[in-house]
């Protein structure tokens, strides 16, 4: 098995899918330009030499153009992988994503499909309010979109390949601090989780969560960077005699709710960690599902740890306070014991 | 674990209260329920009970300080717990007010906020309910454990009874010897603490004989002898009375105004009337005269013949007079409808019949409802003054004391006069002191000079 970063795993997934299927192509800003970074975080680095500029398509700085070409070509039978430099820019494409991509299969009675993948980096990395959001929750509210959020190299490759093969629009949210990007695109404070990726072909099914750490006392649900903070917190809590079960849903839509419900039936306590603002996040939906379907199994109120309801601040010291920390996760867990 | 002393939300209109005085000082032992400090609201001075038993280890606001509702103003440490420890454990939340329902997570000894929307008081059955997690309830039900046995053992967040409390109870039960039903009943009746009784043969159940032995040996005798008691389950009527009395004191702001009145002329008037009555006629009591007089005075003081629901005052045109009656089942208050349109004789007849049927228990629920004012008479039992409890949504109740002869100054000379004690309780939320006193004065004027009813 090869060891690689998430950026490398994503690149490998794209390469394999482009080799497998001629209809697959990439579109984005500066993803294939000579001397460029390979997109904002090196994921497509080198692919234009391999596949040419017709399949690694650079666009002007226009997110609406990217979305329009991606959605239109998907309707026409292509399999686009669109690259958004920062997930904050998805808001430029809101009409195309919500009113077109998500709805066309329904509105056409199933005669049209939009097999499009859109990759978007999330997370606060000292870039200010408009390059730091984690907007997954917005899109979980839109029927017709699938939402994945891989936190390991294995999942990144397996989920991206599943997304390319899915006949519906899939948004792939990646975290800036987890890419393990090198050189100029390495983000300060990156975790660079390097994981093992099998040589042979594999897929990670969309809609299946995974238990990252088994425990019996409390269930912690977290994705992306928050997953790693939750895992660190779980280790500290273990020293205090509390064994946390950490769940990585991997997919937010469709959600593997049975995995979460089963874990809560085991532990009786639930904490959800989100990097996004607290109010109306996907964590609120999980809390509501558990309150509804596992009420009798709860031994304490459901807790959420998330960013406060303000935009991500620019100042690094404020940003450190803004993004949920390991300590905040520990405190929240202790508050329900 | 230390317990925070919070400023209770006593006033519906004010966010802050003023501390009048602490009745305990730092280092004093305090018992849960005893008065810890007094506060001043916009109209009254009220006593606040200690939330826990322990040592008052810290006082964060003194007499005269204006403090926010729900803020921490003191700490009660467990006996033996170091004061410093108690102090550091609260340091984080010091001077920080609890937003309703969201105490700071660093504070493990959280209190349950008992206010409803907009600070409205919750009914006692909501406040006194058992707070147990759904998981604990499910387990307790499965194992047939009455949750009430776990009351107070809540170790979870916000003092919730959680799964581990139920499991701990099961473990305790396992390690305890079984008790035969007869032995259990006997222990209950004699006040023997079963946890101190051992079965004759280890591993067998505790029998009646074991309880008897324990009783004779007096193992732990002083305590068990003194704690002999009889447990009485409340009847539904008594429960209703208990709930209504408690509710009344929770939601109203009762103030009782007391005074003595010269009733000599009323006594004489009644005697003159009784002389004229035939043997078989209904004989009006002082209550009937006082109902009559009160109806006259209420017509000039409509504010006291009213309902108040916390938002709106409802003035009534007619007086429906409720009379407190002591029955074997407890206190009842049958109502004389349109009492203000009836004469003394008719009042006496209706009152006689109504009280008769109330004592027999044949009074209808309809006749027990709809009173707009209440009169309660403890004179026959030798009481002069007391503090009647309001019957919400009514805003006033008049308590009548005994009539007794005393040497009194009358027209500059010492004479034997018949005096009567009156105790008027009004809801100060809507009836201020002066209007209440004026009402009572008018009552007294009519008692002193019954002729004035003609005016």
Instruction: Read off the CATH number of the domain in which B328 is found.
Output: 3.30.559.10
C-alpha Rg value of chain A to the nearest Å:
19
pLDDT at A142 over 80: yes
pLDDT at B156 over 80: no
A296·B163 Cβ contact <8 A: no
- Give a yes or no: residue B357 inside a domain: yes
- Give a yes or no: residue B120 inside a domain: no
Higher local confidence (pLDDT), A109 or B120:
A109
pLDDT at B95 over 70: no
Give the whole-angstrom CA distance, residue A92 versus residue A304. Answer: 29
A295·B134 Cβ contact <8 A: yes
Last-in-domain residue among B166, B191, B226? B226
**Pair B209, B316 in one domain:** no
List Cβ neighbours of B376 (8 Å cut-off, separation of 6 or more): B323, B324, B388, B397, B398, B399, B400
List Cβ neighbours of A240 (8 Å cut-off, separation of 6 or more): A334
Residues of A identified as active-site = 131
Last-in-domain residue among B93, B109, B125? B109
pLDDT at B107: 38
pLDDT at A85: 96
How many CB contacts within 8 angstroms connect chain A with chain B?
Answer: 41
pLDDT digits (tens, 9 = 90+) for A148-192: 999 999 999 999 999 999 999 999 999 999 998 776 777 777 887
Residue among B106, B135, B160 minimizing CB distance to A296? B135
pLDDT at B81: 57
Give the whole-angstrom CA distance, residue B384 versus residue B397. Answer: 16
Print the domain residue range for B304.
Answer: 237-454
pLDDT at B39: 81
Q: Are B108 and B85 in contact (CB under 8 A)?
A: no
Give the whole-angstrom CA distance, residue A124 versus residue A229. Answer: 14
Give percent of chain B with pLDDT exceeding 70. 85
Give the whole-angstrom CA distance, residue B204 versus residue B216. Answer: 21
Return the closest-CA partner of residue B98 out of B442, B90, A336.
Answer: B90
- Give a yes or no: residue B221 inside a domain: yes
Q: What is the mean pLDDT of chain A?
A: 95
- Give a yes or no: residue B122 inside a domain: no
pLDDT at A294: 92
pLDDT at B91 over 50: no
What confidence category does residue B41 fall into, taking pLDDT thresholds of 50, 70 and 90? Answer: low
The domains located in chain A, with CATH, are 2-197 (3.40.50.970), 210-334 (3.40.50.920)
pLDDT at B92 over 60: no
What confidence category does residue B149 fall into, taking pLDDT thresholds of 50, 70 and 90? Answer: confident
C-alpha Rg value of chain B to the nearest Å:
28
Residue among B108, B158, B163 minimizing CB distance to A299? B163
List Cβ neighbours of A275 (8 Å cut-off, separation of 6 or more): A122, A123, A124, A134, A224, A225, A226, A306, A307, A323, A324
pLDDT at B228: 64
pLDDT at B65: 77
Q: Are B121 and B8 in contact (CB under 8 A)?
A: no
A298·B135 Cβ contact <8 A: yes
Give the whole-angstrom CA distance, residue B319 versus residue B295. Answer: 7
Higher local confidence (pLDDT), B94 or A124:
A124
pLDDT digits (tens, 9 = 90+) for A155-167: 999 999 999 999 9
pLDDT at A172: 98
Return the closest-CA partner of residue B59 out of B103, B25, B85.
Answer: B25
Q: Are A174 and A155 in contact (CB under 8 A)?
A: no
Q: How far is A315 from chain B (nearest CA, A)?
A: 26
Helices (H) and strands (E) counted in chain A, each on its own, are 12, 14
What CATH number is attached to the domain comprising B59? 2.40.50.100
pLDDT at B55: 81
Interface mutation target, options B93, B135, B158, B161, chain A, most CBs of A under 10 Å: B135
Cα separation values, B17 from A84, A115, B111, B304, Å: 57, 65, 19, 28
pLDDT at B377 over 80: yes
Query: Residue B108: closest CA among chain A residues belongs to which residue?
Result: A335
Interface mutation target, options B134, B137, B142, chain A, most CBs of A under 10 Å: B134
Give percent of chain B with pLDDT exceeding 90. 36
Q: Are B62 and B20 in contact (CB under 8 A)?
A: no
Q: Which helix (H) or strand (E) holds B35?
A: strand B35-40
Give percent of chain A with pLDDT exceeding 90. 93
Return the closest-CA partner of residue A123 out of A227, A13, A38, A239.
Answer: A227
B135·A336 Cβ contact <8 A: no
* Count: domains in chain B: 3
pLDDT at B94: 30
Cα separation values, A279 from A122, A275, A306, A309, B60, Å: 18, 12, 9, 7, 35
Higher local confidence (pLDDT), A134 or B195:
A134
Q: Which helix (H) or strand (E) holds B373?
A: strand B373-377
- Give a yes or no: residue B117 inside a domain: no
- Give a yes or no: residue B116 inside a domain: no
Q: Are A184 and A37 in contact (CB under 8 A)?
A: yes
**Pair B246, B329 in one domain:** yes
pLDDT at A24 over 70: yes
pLDDT at A177: 95
**Pair B155, B101 in one domain:** no
| Tokens 């509702």, located at residue | B69
pLDDT digits (tens, 9 = 90+) for A247-296: 999 999 999 999 999 999 999 999 999 999 999 999 999 999 999 999 98
DSSP one-letter string for A142-210: STT-EEE---SHHHHHHHHHHHHH-SS-EEEEEETTTS---GGGPPTT-----EEE-SS-----TT--E
Q: How far is B71 from chain A (nearest CA, A)?
A: 20
- Provide the chain B residues 151-210 that lie in CB contact (below 8 A) with chain A: 156-158, 160, 162-163
pLDDT at B213 over 90: no
Q: What is the mean pLDDT of chain B?
A: 82
pLDDT at B43: 54
Q: Dihedral sign, CA of A179, A181, A186, A189?
A: positive
pLDDT at B127 over 50: yes
pLDDT at A31: 97
Last-in-domain residue among B55, B76, B109? B109
Q: At what angle do helices B286-300 and B433-448 cross, to 10 degrees?
A: 130
Beta bridge partners of A219: A245, A270
pLDDT at B266 over 80: yes
pLDDT at B89: 39
Q: What are phi and psi of A168, to 5 degrees?
A: -120, 160
Which runs of E-coded beta strand occur in B234-287?
Answer: 254-262
Two tokens, residue B422: 């009156």
**Pair B256, B331 in one domain:** yes
Q: How far is B12 from chain A (nearest CA, A)?
A: 29
Return the closest-CA partner of residue A118 out of A95, A143, A89, A141.
Answer: A89
**Average pLDDT of B226-235?**
69
Residue among A299, A332, A337 minimizing CB distance to B135? A299
**Pair B138, B278 in one domain:** no
pLDDT at B221: 45
Higher local confidence (pLDDT), A130 or B236:
A130
Give the whole-angstrom CA distance, residue B171 versus residue B249. Answer: 41
Interface mutation target, options B107, B133, B138, chain A, most CBs of A under 10 Å: B133
- Give a yes or no: residue B433 inside a domain: yes
**Pair B274, B387 in one domain:** yes
Q: At what angle do helices A6-20 and A153-165 cross, to 10 degrees?
A: 30
Q: Are B424 and B436 in contact (CB under 8 A)?
A: yes
**Pair B428, B312 in one domain:** yes
pLDDT at B125: 67
Q: At what angle do helices B264-276 and B286-300 cross, to 10 degrees?
A: 120
**Pair B211, B278 in one domain:** no
**Pair B315, B370 in one domain:** yes
**Pair B102, B190 in one domain:** no
Q: Are B380 and B402 in contact (CB under 8 A)?
A: yes
**Pair B242, B216 in one domain:** no
pLDDT at A298: 93
Return the closest-CA partner of residue A80 out of A95, A98, A65.
Answer: A65
Indicate the SS3 state at residue B159.
Answer: helix
pLDDT at B434: 95
- Give a yes or no: residue B119 inside a domain: no
**Average pLDDT of A32-42?**
92
**Pair B319, B406 in one domain:** yes
Q: Are A55 and A90 in contact (CB under 8 A)?
A: no
What confidence category does residue B188 fall into, taking pLDDT thresholds of 50, 70 and 90? Answer: confident
Indicate the SS3 state at residue A248.
Answer: strand
- Provide the chain B residues 71-110 that lie in CB contact (below 8 A) with chain A: 105-106, 108
């Amino acid at each position: 098995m090869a060891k690689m970063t998430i950026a490398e795993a994503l690149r490998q997934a794209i390469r394999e899918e482009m080799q497998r299927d001629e209809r697959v192509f990439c579109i984005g800003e500066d993803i294939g330009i000579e001397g460029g970074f390979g997109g904002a975080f090196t994921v497509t680095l080198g692919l234009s030499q391999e596949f040419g500029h017709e399949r690694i398509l650079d666009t002007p700085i226009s997110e609406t153009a990217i979305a329009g070409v991606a959605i239109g070509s998907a309707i026409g039978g292509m399999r686009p992988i669109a690259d958004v430099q920062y997930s904050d820019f998805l808001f430029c494409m809101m009409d195309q994503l919500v009113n077109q991509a998500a709805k066309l299969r329904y509105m056409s009675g199933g005669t049209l499909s939009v097999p499009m993948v859109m990759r978007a980096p999330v997370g606060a990395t000292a870039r200010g309010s408009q390059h730091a959001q984690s907007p997954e929750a917005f899109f979980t509210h839109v029927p017709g979109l699938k939402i994945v959020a891989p936190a390991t190299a294995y999942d990144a490759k397996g989920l991206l390949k599943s997304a390319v093969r899915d006949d519906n629009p899939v948004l792939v949210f990646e975290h800036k601090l987890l890419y393990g990007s090198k050189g100029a695109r390495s983000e300060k404070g990156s975790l660079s989780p390097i994981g093992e990726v099998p040589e042979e072909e594999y897929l990670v099914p969309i809609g299946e969560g995974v238990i990252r750490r088994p425990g019996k006392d409390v269930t912690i649900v977290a994705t992306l960077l928050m997953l790693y903070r939750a895992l660190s917190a779980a280790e500290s809590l273990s020293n205090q005699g509390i064994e946390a079960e950490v769940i990585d849903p991997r997919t937010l839509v469709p959600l593997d709710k049975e995995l979460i419900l089963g874990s809560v039936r085991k532990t009786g306590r639930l904490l959800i960690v989100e990097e996004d603002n607290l109010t109306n996040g996907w964590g609120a939906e999980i809390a509501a599902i558990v309150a509804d379907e596992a009420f009798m199994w709860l031994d304490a109120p459901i807790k959420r740890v998330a960013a406060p309801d303000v935009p991500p601040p620019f100042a690094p010291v404020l940003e450190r306070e803004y993004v949920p920390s390991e300590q905040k996760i520990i405190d929240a867990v202790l508050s329900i014991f | 674990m230390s317990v925070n002393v919070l400023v209770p939300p006593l006033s519906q209109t004010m966010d802050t209260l003023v501390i009048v005085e602490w009745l305990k000082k730092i280092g004093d032992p305090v018992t849960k329920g005893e008065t810890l400090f007094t506060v001043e609201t916009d109209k009254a001075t009220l006593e606040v009970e200690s939330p826990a038993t322990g040592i008052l280890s810290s006082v964060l606001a003194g007499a005269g300080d204006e403090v926010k509702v729900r803020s921490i103003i003191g700490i009660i440490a467990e006996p033996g717990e170091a004061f410093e420890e108690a102090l550091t454990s609260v340091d984080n939340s010091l001077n920080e007010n609890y937003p309703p329902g969201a105490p700071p997570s660093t504070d493990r000894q959280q209190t349950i906020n008992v206010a409803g929307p907009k600070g409205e008081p919750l009914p006692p059955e909501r406040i006194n309910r058992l707070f147990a997690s759904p998981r604990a309830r499910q387990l307790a039900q499965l194992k047939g454990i009455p949750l009430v046995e776990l009351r107070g053992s809540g170790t979870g967040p916000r003092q919730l009874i959680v799964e581990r409390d139920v499991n701990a109870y099961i473990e305790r039960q396992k390690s305890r010897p079984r008790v035969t039903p007869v032995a259990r009943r006997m222990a209950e009746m004699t006040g023997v603490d079963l946890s101190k009784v051992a079965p004759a043969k280890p591993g067998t159940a505790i029998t009646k004989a074991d309880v008897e032995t324990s009783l004779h040996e007096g193992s732990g005798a002083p305590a068990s002898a003194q704690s002999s008691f009889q447990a009485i389950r409340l009847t539904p009527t008594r429960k209703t009375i208990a709930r209504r009395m408690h509710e009344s004191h929770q939601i109203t702001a009762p103030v009782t105004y007391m005074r003595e009145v010269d009733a000599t002329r009323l006594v004489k008037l009644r005697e003159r009337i009784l002389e004229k009555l035939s043997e078989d006629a209904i004989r009006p009591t002082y209550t009937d005269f006082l109902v009559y007089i009160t109806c006259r005075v209420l017509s000039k003081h409509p504010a006291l013949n009213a309902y108040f629901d916390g938002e709106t005052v409802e003035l009534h045109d007619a007086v429906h007079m409720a009379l407190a009656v002591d029955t074997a089942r407890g206190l009842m208050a049958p109502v004389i409808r349109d009492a203000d349109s009836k004469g003394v004789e008719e009042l006496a007849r209706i009152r006689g019949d109504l009280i008769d049927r109330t004592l027999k228990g044949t009074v209808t629920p309809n006749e027990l409802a709809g009173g707009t004012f209440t009169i309660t008479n403890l004179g026959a039992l030798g009481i002069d003054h007391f503090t009647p409890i309001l019957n919400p949504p009514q805003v006033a109740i008049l308590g009548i004391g005994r009539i007794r002869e005393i040497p009194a100054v009358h027209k500059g000379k010492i004479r034997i006069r018949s005096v009567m004690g009156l105790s008027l309780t009004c809801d100060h939320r809507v009836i201020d002191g002066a209007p209440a006193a004026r009402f009572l004065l008018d009552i007294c004027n009519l008692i002193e000079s019954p002729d004035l009813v003609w005016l």
